[in-house]
Amino acid sequence: MRLYLAVFALLAAVHCEELFNGDQVLRINAESEDQIQILKKLERDVDSGVSQPVDIRVPHSSLYAVKDFLKKNNIPFTVIINNVQERLVREREEMVRNAEMESKTKSFNFAAYHDLETIYNFMDTLANHSKLISKVKIGSTYENRSMYVLKFSTGGEKRPAIWIDAGIHAREWISHATAVWLADQIAKDFKENRAPVPSILSKMDIYLMIVANPDGYVFTHRSSNPLYRFWRKSRSATSNPKCHGVDLNRNWDAEFGGPGASDDPCAEDYRGPSAQSEIEVKNIAKFIMSHGNFKSFMTLHSYMQLLMYPYGYIGIDAPDQTELHDVATMSSKALNSWHGTVYKVGSIFHTIDQANGASVDWAYLRGIKYSFAFELRDTGKYGFLLPADQIVSTARETWFALRYIMKYVCDHPY
């Protein structure tokens, strides 16, 4: 979910508070192109279509003015988060308590969010206790942090493979936490000979990248300003010294530079100066291309409960659209079977928004037919601040979906 926007140039007042007490998230449902244009006067990052809602975080001091503006322009809205500060405080307190508990018990709690160091230590533990798993460094970030993938393999080099990544957008913590749980589940299912994992791994390897944007993820944890819990981009320098970072999911060499991304370094969806200019994207792309035998590419995001396939950059059907739609539909049904969670299925362009330079399009355009993007829970009640007590349920239902896709890919070689 891209549109979770802080307001507002229109109000001609700078909101400098570091606390969000009383800030609300409004969901705005523009009903015409004229209303979209009015919203753009309110917030420059708005690029949603009429069919897509826009979620905005409004400072408490601006709530009356913003709501009055929307009412006067007959633009429908609802309050979906009543107090952002309360959610932030609760999240941080839970993390502190969990870290203390894990330290005392020498355990790992999958129903909790973790920082980068803890996730990397978890990956080490998993790899050190299983011959199935290896931790592979694929490069370093702009701030010189290591980038790792977990390789699940029963042996052999460059066998047909499945790629899964999470966290390319830093603030989408549920994607990282889900990927952590998935790594453990794949290992358990193989060890316990639980179908279909042994069968899949007898024919294919699985590569799982839990943190695709390490610099951004660390920034969401360590910054003293709570605003940066909602940081989306990387942390590289740009042409504007006041605006750091690139949207790594608009930087891929997939119709780069089109209208489905911004050329403004201060925008949330800033695409970067050129295709694959960012070292993080270069590292992933180089690894996948040098391997040369990936058959599926899946990326985990949040939020809005969507399961999508190419294209994002254009509104025409991909050559494999019928098959991809059928696979996604069946996968979403498998997901729904766990907890009843409903996902919307379709192409990126028609389901969420136009997106140029997205990783799924990049993979598909390079012959990786089974390419999918997930937007995990929820649909806005908590947004990027999904409570930790929903991690395991989210991860398990996502596993049901991924498991279906992986088995399908295994059974349909090309």
Bridge partners, 298 (sequence order): 164, 372
Contact of 109 with 179, CB cutoff 8 Å: no
Bridge partners, 166 (sequence order): 300
State the first-to-last Cα distance of the chain, in angstroms, to the nearest integer.
Answer: 32
Catalytic pick among 43, 280, 375, 397: 375
Contact of 314 with 305, CB cutoff 8 Å: no
Record the tokens describing residue 7, joined without a space.
């307001």
How far is residue 199 CA from its own chain's centroid? 28
| Contacts of residue 207, Cβ cutoff 8 Å, sequence gap at least 6 | 136, 149, 150, 151, 152, 161, 162, 163, 164, 294
Q: From CA 165, how far away is CA 212, in angstroms rounded?
A: 6
Instruction: Give 317's DSSP letter.
Output: P
Q: Is 375 a catalytic residue?
A: yes
Bridge partners, 307 (sequence order): 345, 374
The reply to whether omega before 311 is within 30° of 0 (cis) is yes
How far is residue 307 CA from its own chain's centroid? 12
**Residues with active-site annotation:** 375
